[in-house]
Amino acid sequence: MAYDFDLYVIGAGSGGVRSARFAAGFGAKVAVAESRYLGGTCVNVGCVPKKLLVYGAHFAEDFEQSAGFGWTLGEADFDWATLIANKDREINRLNGTYRNLLVNSGVTLHEGHAKLIDPHQVEINGQRYTAKHILIATGGWPQIPDIPGREHAISSNEAFFLKELPKRILVAGGGYIAVEFAGIFHGLGADTKLLYRGELFLRGFDGAVRKHLQEELTKRGLDLQFNADIERIDKQADGSLKVTLKDGRELATDCVFYATGRRPMLDNLGLENTGVKLDKRGFIEVDEQYQSAEPSILAIGDVIGRVQLTPVALAEGMAVARRLFKPEQYRPVDYNMIPTAVFSLPNIGTVGLTEEQAREAGHKVQIFESRFRPMKLTLTECQERTLMKLVVDADTDKVLGCHMVGPDAGEIVQGLAIALKAGATKRDFDETIGVHPTAAEEFVTMRTPVAG
Ligand code: NDP
């Protein structure tokens, strides 16, 4: 049967666009449907604008610390509307870049909501198209728990477009988004509280990293409240919000921001017209080659809920394009040693196993740690400290994990990830000459284990 397209991609986010462009480059006839914004979550309401806001928040401490270097500044004043307008302009530019990338690679762009009609057919803007393969790359959407008053809360989708910086904000959650946005709002001058339901935020990260970040954020004056779970939100006559916790406490705020995970975006996708199955958590179930239970339909990225990170979606998108249209170049995605950063202030950078995971997996471990005051701060009043940690297999000498909390941790961990992927041992680290004077050189000068 002749199809209209070899590949029809639903969703022009990181994974979908990468897959479409590669497939078109391999000679396939490709279309992409997008109902919202080109570039998906990452470009529009995720990584990119978030990082711009983090830069914005960082200026607060730069101004403060500049005094130690002899600068005298006038009173600093921050204007949220300017930051948001400039951010919007940059995101518009990136939307245009994505459009050009698609069009120049020969991909047909359909703007509208695509719905599956059957395993080989989609409908969009009243038109039907057939395709040999359909790739679902519709991503995720913030999930706010079903509590009374949830309609008064915002998610990251709205946070990027607030008209004003709230005077008081309460961030609920203890994952990437909650920690990053609490740092943004606090840095920009809002009275910020972070509420997390458990004992300590950032579950799944190395214990020392979680504790260190808790201490650093507290030093900065961010109000961290753990074992704090919201029961209800009530709007008050003056427009403020009353937040009642499950333990009965009441908090007053102007904005409640939920960052409690993301669900797969499957709304009105027409999955019921196909044999696609969902896993227990509601994400699309795929095999190791991203094929769903319906052989002609594949899925990648946040909608499969494996690792919700842009670079992972990119790798998955490329793997799909290669497998379908350039099988001789196909390589499965390696999910080991995925480096990641939390753009809190200070940043977390991490790759490989945490100490807890290494011990649980049965490794005999040696732990190396370095804690120090970054050189830049020695001329300032700031008492912030950096943490670096190596988890080493005592039997094989292999470095199993690298963890850092401190300035530029995200930048530093990228290079370490290459070393760990290549199987570097602690001896390789020791024999590597440091770059002096940097913080990163501490990773090659840790000599004595702090724990075994
Ligand atoms: P996460 O899954 O990282 O964290 C969710 C947080 O919300 C956890 O602390 C969780 O607590 C808590 N939570 C979940 N359900 C509830 C509930 N019903 N009530 C109260 N608290 C709850 O999700 P995020 O929304 O922060 O981010 C989504 C994903 O986006 C991340 O997992 C990450 O993959 C990606 N991301 C990556 C970034 C980066 O690379 N820098 C930046 C931002 C997002 P508990 O631990 O107790 O379950």
Cα–Cα dist 318/315, whole Å: 5
Question: Would you say the CB of residue 181 lies under 6 angstroms from ligand 1?
Answer: no
Nearest-CA residue for ligand 1 atom 35 is 308
Contacts of 175 (CB under 8 A, 6+ apart): 201, 202, 203, 259, 260, 261
- Cα 258 to middle of ligand 1, angstroms: 10
Q: Does residue 17 contact residue 64 with C-beta atoms inside 8 Å?
A: no
Inter-CA distances, 437 with 129, 157, 398, 441, Å: 59, 40, 26, 7
Joined together, the tokens standing for residue 115 give: 């719905």
Q: Is there a catalytic annotation at residue 120?
A: no
At residue 452, the pLDDT reads: 76
Q: What is the mean pLDDT of the chain?
A: 97
- Residue 451 DSSP label: B
Q: What is the pLDDT of residues 100-147, one digit of tens each?
A: 999 999 999 999 999 999 999 999 999 999 999 999 999 999 999 999
Indicate if the pLDDT at residue 31 is higher than 80: yes
Task: Report, in this order, helix, strand and coil percent for the chain, each rounded to 5.
Answer: 35, 25, 40
- Cα 284 to middle of ligand 1, angstroms: 19
Q: Does residue 32 contact residue 131 with C-beta atoms inside 8 Å?
A: no
Cα–Cα dist 439/446, whole Å: 12
State mean pLDDT over 432-451.
Answer: 95
Among 244, 272, 240, 268, smallest CA distance to 141 is for 268
In order of start, what are the domains of the chain with their CATH numbers? 5-141+263-329 (3.50.50.60), 150-260 (3.50.50.60), 340-444 (3.30.390.30)
- Cα 91 to middle of ligand 1, angstroms: 24
Question: Would you say the CB of residue 343 lies under 6 angstroms from ligand 1?
Answer: yes
Q: Does residue 142 contact residue 258 with C-beta atoms inside 8 Å?
A: yes
Q: Does residue 265 contact residue 140 with C-beta atoms inside 8 Å?
A: yes
Nearest-CA residue for ligand 1 atom 46 is 203
- Residue 267 DSSP label: T
Q: What is the pLDDT of residues 201-229, one digit of tens each?
A: 999 999 999 999 999 999 999 999 999 99
Indicate if the pLDDT at residue 1 is higher than 80: no
Binning pLDDT at 50, 70 and 90, where does residue 451 land? confident
User: What is the identity of the amino acid at 33?
Assistant: A
Question: Would you say the CB of residue 177 lies under 6 angstroms from ligand 1?
Answer: yes
Contacts of 257 (CB under 8 A, 6+ apart): 153, 154, 155, 156, 159, 169, 170, 171, 172, 178, 181, 185
Inter-CA distances, 178 with 156, 257, 310, Å: 9, 8, 18
Q: What is the pLDDT of residues 36-48, one digit of tens each?
A: 999 999 999 999 9
Joined together, the tokens standing for residue 251 give: 């908090």
**Considering 120, 133, 363, 436, which one is annotated as catalytic?**
436
Q: Which atom of ligand 1 is the closest one to the Cα of 156?
A: 25
Q: To test the ligand 1 pocket, which listed residue (44, 176, 203) has its Cβ within 8 A of the most ligand atoms?
A: 176
Cα–Cα dist 82/85, whole Å: 5
Indicate if the pLDDT at residue 443 is higher than 80: yes
Q: To test the ligand 1 pocket, which listed residue (157, 158, 177) has its Cβ within 8 A of the most ligand atoms?
A: 177
Q: Does residue 372 contact residue 386 with C-beta atoms inside 8 Å?
A: yes
Q: Provide, rounded to the nearest whole percent, the portion of the chain with pLDDT above 70.
A: 100
CA angle 354, 360, 366 (to 5 degrees): 60
- Cα 65 to middle of ligand 1, angstroms: 32
Nearest-CA residue for ligand 1 atom 28 is 261
Contacts of 48 (CB under 8 A, 6+ apart): 39, 42, 90, 91, 94
Q: Which atom of ligand 1 is the closest one to the Cα of 201?
A: 9
Task: Print burial letters for 218-256: b (CB count within 10 Å at least 16), e (below 16).
Answer: eebebebeeebebeebeeeeeeebebbbeeeeebebbbb
User: What is the identity of the amino acid at 349?
Assistant: G
User: What is the identity of the amino acid at 382?
Assistant: C
At residue 96, the pLDDT reads: 96
Q: What is the pLDDT of residues 230-265, one digit of tens each?
A: 999 999 999 999 999 999 999 999 999 999 999 999
For the entire predicted model, the pTM comes to: 0.97
CA distance between the termini of the chain: 63
State mean pLDDT over 427-447.
Answer: 97
Q: To test the ligand 1 pocket, which listed residue (225, 229, 308, 348) has its Cβ within 8 A of the most ligand atoms?
A: 308
Q: Does residue 116 contact residue 273 with C-beta atoms inside 8 Å?
A: yes
Nearest-CA residue for ligand 1 atom 33 is 308
Question: Would you say the CB of residue 121 lies under 6 angstroms from ligand 1?
Answer: no
Indicate if the alpha-carbon torsion angle 82, 343, 189, 153 is positive or negative: positive
Cα–Cα dist 352/391, whole Å: 9
Cα–Cα dist 351/336, whole Å: 9
At residue 317, the pLDDT reads: 98
Question: Would you say the CB of residue 178 lies under 6 angstroms from ligand 1?
Answer: yes
- Cα 171 to middle of ligand 1, angstroms: 12
